Copies of this chain bind each other. A is one copy, B any other.
Amino acid sequence: MHECLNKCDELIVVIGSAEESHTMKNPFTAGERFQMILSCLTPEERLRVIIVPIRDVNRYSVWVNHLESYLPPFDIVFSNSNLTRSLFKQAGYEVRRTRAYNPKEYSATEVRKRMISGKKWAHLVPGPVAGMLEAIDARQRLLDSGERPSTR
C-alpha cells in the first residue's frame, strides 16, 4: 500500500471478498480488515486513501463493471494477479504490478502458519495491526476457522 501511495496522489484500497470471514483464507471480517488498514495510516496518508470493502461476484465477466460501480473514478490498477490486470487492461485501464515483497516472510500465508504453530509472527506485521490481532485473539479465530458454517 505504501509503495502504491508513493506512485499516485490518491489511492483506493479495495478490501476483496468482503462478505467472507472466519475462514482460513479470510479470517477477519471486512470491518476488522478496514480497521487494520486505517491503523497503519498517518493523518497525511489518510487524506489520500479511500478504503472500500467489495464482495466477490464470482463472475469474471462482470468484475470490471462491478468494481467501477462501487468506486470513485480511477485511472491505474495495481495488482499482482495476471487475470485482474488482464481484465482491466482490456477495459482500457493502465495496469501495474507492485514490487514483490519477500514472499517467504511477508505474506499473509506465512503469518497465518506461524500463528497456528505458535511461532513468532508479530514482527512481520505493522505494530498497530499486531496489537489489534492480539486483542481479537486472532490465533483462536484461525484455529476455529472452517470451510463453511455448520451445526455439526
* A122, B143: Cα distance in complex, Å: 35
Whether A68 contacts B31 in the complex (CB less than 8 A), given A84-B150, A143-B82, comes out as yes
Give complex CA distance A38, B140 in Å: 37
| Contact flags A41-74 to B (C-beta < 8 A → 1, else 0) | 0010011001111011111111111111111110
The answer, yes or no, to whether A16 is at the interface (CB within 8 Å) is: yes
Alpha-carbon gap, A52 to B148, bound state (A): 19
Find A57's partner among B52, B71, B79, B149 (CB 8 Å cutoff). Answer: B149
CA distance A104 to B84 in the complex (A): 32
Structural contact, B56 and A148, CB atoms closer than 8 A: yes
CB pair A20–B59 under 8 Å, yes or no, is yes
A52 & B50 in contact (Cβ 8 Å cutoff)? no
Residue A8, interface by CB 8 Å: no
Binding site for B on A (CB under 8 A): 14, 16, 18-23, 29-32, 34-35, 38, 43, 46-47, 50-53, 55-73, 77, 79-84, 86-87, 140-141, 143-146, 148-152
